[in-house]
Amino acid sequence: TTRERVLAAVETIKVELKEPLEQLYAENKLVEAQRLAQRTQFDIEMMAEVGFCNGIENYS
């Protein structure tokens, strides 16, 4: 179902988020890493609850 696809996408996003966060932390870009994590977490929550978020195409 569509709900299952959204939840699968959420899990993929979580996995793919780790690499850029690790890179930002390695470069000591803590503010940027925190901002990326925060924005992505908000989008993940919106997708899980509502099924979409603004800018969802950025996760394709």
Enumerate the domain spans of the chain.
2-49
Distance CA 53, CA 40 (A): 10
Give the pTM: 0.79
Q: What is the predicted pLDDT for the residue at 9?
A: 87
Residue in the block written with tokens 């977490």? 41
Higher pLDDT, 22 or 58: 22
Tens digits of residue pLDDT in 16-45: 999 999 999 999 999 999 999 999 999 888
pLDDT of 59 reads 67
Q: Answer for the pair 20, 40: CB distance below 8 angstroms, yes or no.
A: no
